[in-house]
């Protein structure tokens, strides 16, 4: 079980942002923007999988996740933790261990042989399931897993992403319409704030990143990427 050393959301967001910079899991490059799978161009990039390679960091992040859930959802709201393929699986195992709960994982689609299962592990009918991903942009991938759990008889009212982009209005709309409360620890705004505080980049780069966060599709369009999704 977690000791929940930190419970203030602002403190946890700031610390996670600092950890992401320290382990080089986040990157800013406005001069040569990253091309995302959607076709967008972005001056920011994140790889939350790197958290797993740093034991002290990953332990603290799990403390933050537990504190976030218990503060915002409650202490006895879940029967099972579900990780989405693939990045959500190790974090689901870590979180389930902290909360003393069973764990399952959910494939993006049925595996196509054997039992043709999409959900691996034991999930009783009516189980209250928390779905976890390492990060979410607009919620599309998380709802792939949520829909699969619901179709198999599970109840999903909550999801958690360790990192939430927090820049696409449609993300909030998707979770509201889907009847799911999204919990998260940090966003790009927290990462930008730490970059400014620690003077990690020149003012022009920081201004370009802020412009992207304010209007991501417009920024993408100006920099050779798609301007609509």
β-pair type (26-28, 155-164): unpaired
* CA nearest neighbour of 136 among 48, 39, 65: 48
**Residue ranges of domains in the chain:** 9-222
Segment 16-28 mean pLDDT: 98
pLDDT per position as a tens digit, 41-70: 999 999 999 999 999 999 999 999 999 999
- Give 166's pLDDT tier (boundaries 50, 70, 90): very high
* CA nearest neighbour of 188 among 168, 166, 208: 166
Segment 87-93 mean pLDDT: 96
Binding-site residue positions: 107-108, 111, 113, 133-141
Instruction: Note whether 225 and 39 are within 8 A (CB).
Output: yes
Residue 207 DSSP symbol = H
Segment 102-106 mean pLDDT: 97
Binding-site residue positions for orotate: 137
pLDDT for 6: 61
* CA nearest neighbour of 128 among 153, 91, 160: 153
pLDDT for 7: 77
Classify 121 as helix, strand or coil. coil
pLDDT for 76: 96
pLDDT for 94: 97
Q: CA 91 to CA 86: how far, in whole Å?
A: 10
Segment 75-94 mean pLDDT: 96
Segment 130-153 mean pLDDT: 94
84 or 3, which is more confident? Answer: 84
pLDDT for 205: 96
Residue 103 clears pLDDT 90, i.e. is over it = yes
CA angle 31, 34, 36 (to 5 degrees): 155
Q: Please give the backbone phi and psi of residue 93, each rounded to the nearest 5 degrees, phi first.
A: -65, -45
Residue 146 clears pLDDT 70, i.e. is over it = yes
Binding-site residue positions for 5-phospho-alpha-D-ribose 1-diphosphate: 107-108, 111, 113, 133-141
93 token code pair:
């195992």
Question: What sign does the CA torsion over 79, 85, 88, 90 have?
Answer: positive
Q: 86 preceded by cis ω (within 30°)?
A: yes
Residue 229 clears pLDDT 90, i.e. is over it = no
Q: What topology does CATH give the domain 9-222?
A: Rossmann fold (3.40.50)
Q: Which helix (DSSP H) or strand (DSSP E) does residue 196 occupy?
A: helix 188-197
pLDDT for 114: 47
């Amino acid at each position: 079980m977690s000791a929940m050393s930190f419970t203030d959301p602002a403190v946890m967001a700031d610390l996670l942002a600092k950890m992401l910079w320290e382990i080089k899991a986040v990157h800013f490059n406005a001069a040569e923007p990253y091309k995302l799978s959607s076709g967008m161009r972005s001056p920011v990039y994140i790889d939350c999988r790197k958290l797993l390679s740093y034991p002290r960091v990953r332990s603290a992040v799990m403390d933050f996740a537990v504190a976030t859930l218990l503060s915002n959802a409650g202490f006895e709201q879940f029967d099972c933790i579900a990780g989405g393929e693939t990045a959500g699986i190790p974090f689901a195992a870590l979180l389930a261990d902290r909360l003393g709960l069973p764990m399952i994982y959910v494939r993006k689609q049925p595996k196509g042989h054997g039992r043709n299962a999409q959900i691996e592990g034991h999930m009783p009918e009516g189980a209250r399931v928390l779905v976890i991903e390492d990060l979410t942009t607009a919620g599309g991938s998380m709802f792939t897993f949520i829909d699969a759990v619901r179709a198999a008889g599970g109840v999903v009212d909550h999801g958690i992403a360790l990192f939430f982009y927090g820049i696409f209005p449609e993300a909030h709309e998707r979770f509201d319409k889907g009847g799911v409360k999204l919990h998260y620890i940090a966003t790009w705004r927290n990462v930008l704030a730490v970059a400014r505080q620690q003077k990690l980049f020149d003012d022009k780069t920081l201004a370009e990143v802020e412009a992207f966060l304010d209007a991501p599709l417009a920024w993408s369009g100006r920099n050779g990427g798609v301007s609509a999704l």
